[in-house]
Structure 1
Amino acid sequence: MTFNYKNILAGLSVSALLGLASLGTTSCSKDFIDLDDPTRLLSSEGYPDSLSIVSGVTAAYSALQDQYGKSSANNRGIFVFGEIPSDNSTALTSGERLNEFDDFSIISDNPRLQSQWLMTYRTIARCNIILSRGQTVKLTAANRNRYFGEVRFIRALSYFNAVRIWGDVPLVTGEIESIPDAYQFGRTPQAQVYTQIIEDLRFAKKWLPTTRTGNDLGRVTKGAAQGMLGKVFLTQKQYAPAATELDSVIRDNRFSLQPVFANIFATSNEMNSEILFAVRYTKGALGLGSAFTTWFMPGYNETQTRSIIGANFTGQQFNVVDSDLITTANASGTADVRTAASFVLPAGASATTSYYTRKYIDTPTSSTDAENDWIVLRYADVLLMYAEAVNEQTGPNAAALSAVNQVIRRSRNLPTNTANATVDLPGSISSTDLRTRLELERRLELNFEGHRWFDLVRTDRAIAVMNAYFARKNATTRINQNNLLFPIPVQEIQTNPILTQNPGYN
């Protein structure tokens, strides 16, 4: 996708905050992200018609591609923060400064910090423009609220990512029309940001449709808003409302586990029954493809590469499976089908011990043009979060165990809704033991989907788990409370001096 800028501004982040970036014309088989200059500011008075607001909403979806990782946007995406700092992944490449996230030596001038900040606030700005200028468009109330529900979900998701990465962040909920106005935004306390996230998701839940079909497949639904709201509440340790929202998704019966674990990630099976929300990409030399296939691949030779993806593209080694995760997965036993479906060694494995995640296997048209979507939220995550919310609120009960047992049964290729004494967790399990098992199941189920580091922080386990991991590796690295947040990009502080830095960083 080609970016054009209405104005060239001194600070890139200010241009993102102002929402002045626009997208060029593209074509895409995933029809709802088929664009025609979608963020062009058509008039200072507002959007003139319903078609322009539809294009603007589409631009907000498209901005999520840049935020979650896209080569043309020069942003690596959420895995840099959700996987590389964890015990799941190792970054083997040089020159990208991803190693700073791996060993917690992050410096505030790291370009990965700046690009993620820029793409996050660009997404938010596009949402704010729609919410501001869309008020004047002649639409039915139902249509207006549906469009607003979509962009408020996207804004909430963007702020949820931001607050988990940086903590207190600037909270901007309206269109900013001048550079001086942009400089008035300092860091807003996390609690206030979360209040806005919850308000946005509640609005989205109220007005979004329950299903999407045809050209709209992939647009956000009520279930996605409910599931994300449950995740937000769980992150804040508000277990009762988390359980309520997640239980609503379960009871609605609109989502279900895929019978075969590997099928969740097949590019021929996108937006399947398990997917609540995904950031959608499509290959075909249109500028809309994903780069995860080669970004996550170790530096295999051509024979090894072709044995996995059917092409000779060189792996970038940005997000390689850590041996600690392989050890944990193998300990689950050969009956756990997730291991073979999640990791692979290439042909001629004696030449390398670096495993590759199978969740992003595709045959790209170029090294950065693959079909793989980024799954943001899926039903297995909902089931495990529901069990966690119930366990933390009241201790184990039948409903919580039913939820987690469905995930465990699927991992053994067993019918998910039929009790199985061989693998099911016993009704007598303690709250402590269930907490430990849920941590393990989330790691085995959701690895390389951007959850692990945020899970460890959310459950107050990051310091203990990571320091034990570093000890097993005989590494000198140890982390403390300051490492639970990442530094504010130094470019932002230089551009806007009222921004402050997180503790422990310069």
Structure 2
Amino acid sequence: MTFDYKHIFTGASVAALLGLATLVTTSCSKDFIDLNDPTRLPTTEGYSDSLSIQNGVTAAYASLQDLYGKSSANNRGIFVFGEIPSDNSFTVVSGERLNEFNDFTLVSDNPRVQSQWLMTYRTIARCNIILGRAGAIKLTDATRNRYFAEVRFIRALAYFNAVRIWGDVPLVTREIASIAEAYEFGRTPAAQVYTQIEEDLAFAEANLPVAQTGVNLGRATKGAAQGLLGRVLLTQKKYADAATKLRQVIDANTYTLQAAYANIFATSNEMNSEILFAVRYTKGALGLGSAFTTWFMPAYTTAQTTALIGASFTGQQFNTVDTDLVNTFVASGTTDVRAATSYTLPINPTATSTYYTKKYIDTPTTSTDAENDWIVLRYADVLLMYAEAVNEATGPTAQALDAVNRVIRRSRNLPVATANSTVDLPTSTTRETLRTRLELERRLELSFEGHRWFDLVRTDRAIPVMNAFFTRTNSTTRIDQNDLLFPIPIQEIQTNPILTQNPGYN
């Protein structure tokens, strides 16, 4: 089906650029939500004191819930782009048009692409408003810089996702005052966007605290900025710089691997020692819960869902585990403890039952109101990225091998700091061998956390890996260079004609 948008004016996306959407004060920390006074600050007024700026910063964090997946925002989040196109996952849902991501049949009017764009620029606009207005408010330099650091971290995260999804994107770093002004922004070269991301994260690193505690738990930290900057540098193949930055996270000794893999994802153990940054959700009919439990769970019987999650909500199969990933776990061996958390079948499975991930299991109060956070960056990821950066820059080193070996040991339920000749990679490991092992370990360690597709693109492995996967699974689908980016939403191009489309899309 085709649509004629030429004469349709759509205000939502322009409003997102302008920041005209209401800033709703919600929370990244589950303790600093003021339930008795859910303050709402229109962006056109109210920025007159430190409290209004503080509330605006909190609203910027709240926008990350919409960006990473929330039903009330009609956005399914980063897993749509980071997992479904990969060999980890498939979706059986066609009404959501998520199947287009499976099959690489995306059309530029796909609502999931549109909603991600909208939430991206809404997030960026909220950050720009704070950066533009907090300078006039009476604050100490330390307080102002901390607020600026937090929203620059959030803006960098939003732009990093955007540039990996679409490539060249409009780079907006100031508050836009009019609709006419919004139409002046075309696509900025990705290299220039990356420069801004690096600048934002460098400022965040310099001005964020080492740790956040109490009511601030969940806000960005110095380590989160360093870790994200390391990933940004790695994505650009700035290997030596990435290795240096990621080593700083390791040497700080702020984070540690959880002893038990399953504990990383337990809702009773959120913001644990392994988490550098997560998008926080909280259940309780507050409008702040996550939907990942039921989004990812297959549509089993009431008895099955009650046995699985203690409630009878029907799963929606948005992010189902592909048997190819299951086979990879099986090949990893029965001692790999990650398998039990990464996938499972229902109780009393049928011949048509599909696997689902257990990383997001909770008992929701409603189908879209669960406790699960979305982990953006964790320490095991840092260790593996560090090893990759070192390997690409210089070849394997003792420190790089140790970083990988710690992750491997934990996957076998072994003490992470103690060498183990049975599972450790030997000192004779070659660059190519380590490169192959890192691809495998990242797939097994980080499955369903939104990384697999972006990992394959970053390492120039998406086309060969996915085409081999399609051959292996008897699919006629094949991908090429045009499939490495997603389409610019046609609604945006029709609204702002100076935007151009990515190659391969109408």
TM-score bracket for the superposition, by shorter chain length: over 0.9
The one-letter code matched in structure 1 to 2:38 is D
**Is the 1:36–1:55 contact (alpha carbons within 8 Å) kept by the matching residues of 2?**
no
SS in 2 for 1:376: strand
What corresponds to 2:289 in structure 1? Answer: 289
Determine the C-alpha separation between the residues in 2 that align with 1:411 and 1:282: 29
The answer for the alignment partner of 2:452 in structure 1 is: 452
Q: Is the 8 A contact 2:28 2:218 kept in 1?
A: no
TM-score (norm 2): 0.96
Matched, 1:68 2:68: yes
2-structure distance, mates of 1:455, 1:478: 19
Gaps of 5+ in 1: 1-8
Contact 2:25 2:55 in 1 (8 A): no
Shift in Å, 1:31: 2.5
- Corresponding residue for residue 36 of structure 1: 38
**Structure 1 residues 235 and 487 mapped into 2: Cα distance closer, same or farther (>3 Å)?**
same
Deviation at 1:110, TM superposition (A): 0.3
Q: Deviations over 1:13-41 (max 9, x none)?
A: 10000001114566897134557335423
Relative distance call for 1:265 and 1:27 in structure 2 (3 A) is closer
SS at match of 2:119: helix
Q: 1:25 to 1:430 in 2, by over 3 A?
A: closer
Structure 2 Cα separation of the partners of residues 131 and 28 of structure 1: 19
Per the TM alignment, residue 350 of structure 1 is displaced from its structure 2 partner at its CA by: 3.1
1:377 counterpart SS class:
strand
Provide the alpha-carbon RMSD of the alignment.
1.3
Q: 1:120 to 1:131 in 2, by over 3 A?
A: same
Secondary structure of the 2:22 match is: strand
Residues 25 and 206 (structure 1 numbering): CA distance in 2 closer, same or farther, change over 3 Å?
Answer: closer
- What letter is aligned with 1:374? W
**Corresponding residue for residue 180 of structure 2:** 180
Q: Is the 8 A contact 1:26 1:286 kept in 2?
A: no
CA contact (8 A) 2:226 2:248 kept: yes
Alignment partner, residue 361 of structure 2: 361
Preserved CA contact (<8 Å) 1:38 1:58: no
Tell me, in whole angstroms, the C-alpha distance in 1 between the residues paired with 2:18 and 2:450. Answer: 28
Amino acid at match of 1:295: W
CA contact (8 A) 1:27 1:286 kept: no
- Give the match for residue 390 of structure 1: 390
Q: Which amino acid aligns with 2:75?
A: N
| One-letter amino acid of the counterpart of residue 284, structure 1 | G
Structure 2: how far apart are the matches of 1:209 and 1:295? 35
1:410 matched residue in structure 2: 410
**Is the CA contact (8 Å cut-off) linking 2:171 and 2:185 kept in structure 1?**
yes
Report the counterpart of residue 329 of structure 1 in structure 2: 329
- Residue correspondences, number: 496
Distance change in 2, residues 1:294/1:237 (3 Å): same
* Structural mapping, 1:39-188, within 5 Å: 39-41=41-43, 43=45, 47-188=47-188
SS in 1 for 2:200: helix
Q: 1:56–1:130: 8 Å Cα contact kept in structure 2? A: yes
CA–CA distance in structure 1, aligned partners of residues 148 and 192 of structure 2: 21
Could you tell me how far apart the structure 2 residues matched to 1:388 and 1:131 are? 35
* Equivalent residues of 1:74, 1:115 under 8 A apart: yes
Instruction: Tell me the CA shift for residue 332 of structure 1.
Output: 0.4
Instruction: Determine helix, strand or coil for the equivalent of 1:387.
Output: helix
C-alpha deviation, 1:94, in angstroms? 2.3
Q: Hey, what does 1:307 align to over in structure 2? A: 307
| Distance in 2 (alpha carbons) for counterparts of 1:24 and 1:164 | 28
Which residue number in structure 2 is paired with residue 6 of structure 1?
none
1:10 Cα offset (Å): 3.9
**Structure 1 206/24 Cα, relative in aligned 2: closer, same or farther at 3 Å?**
closer
Ranges in structure 2 where 5+ consecutive residues have no aligned partner: 1-8
- Contact 1:82 / 1:450 at 8 angstroms: preserved in 2? yes
Cα pair distance change 1:405/1:39, threshold 3 Å? farther
**Matching residue of 2:4:** none
Separation (CA, whole Å) in 2 of partners of 1:33 and 1:416:
37
1:298, CA displacement in angstroms? 1.1
- Given that 1:362 and 1:372 are in contact with CA atoms closer than 8 Å, whether structure 2 keeps it comes out as yes
Give the aligned partner of residue 5 of structure 1: none
The answer to whether 1:341 aligns with 2:347 is: no
- The residue identity in structure 2 corresponding to 1:446 is L
Distance in 1 between the 2:332 and 2:306 partners?
Answer: 29
Whole-Å Cα distance in 2 between the matches of residues 190 and 459 of structure 1?
17
CA distance in 1, matches of 2:410, 2:27: 38
* TM-superposed deviation, 1:311: 1.1
| Identity within the alignment, % | 75
TM-score, normalised to structure 1's length? Answer: 0.96
Cα shift at 1:307: 2.1
The answer as to whether partners of 1:87 and 1:322 remain within 8 angstroms in 2 is: yes
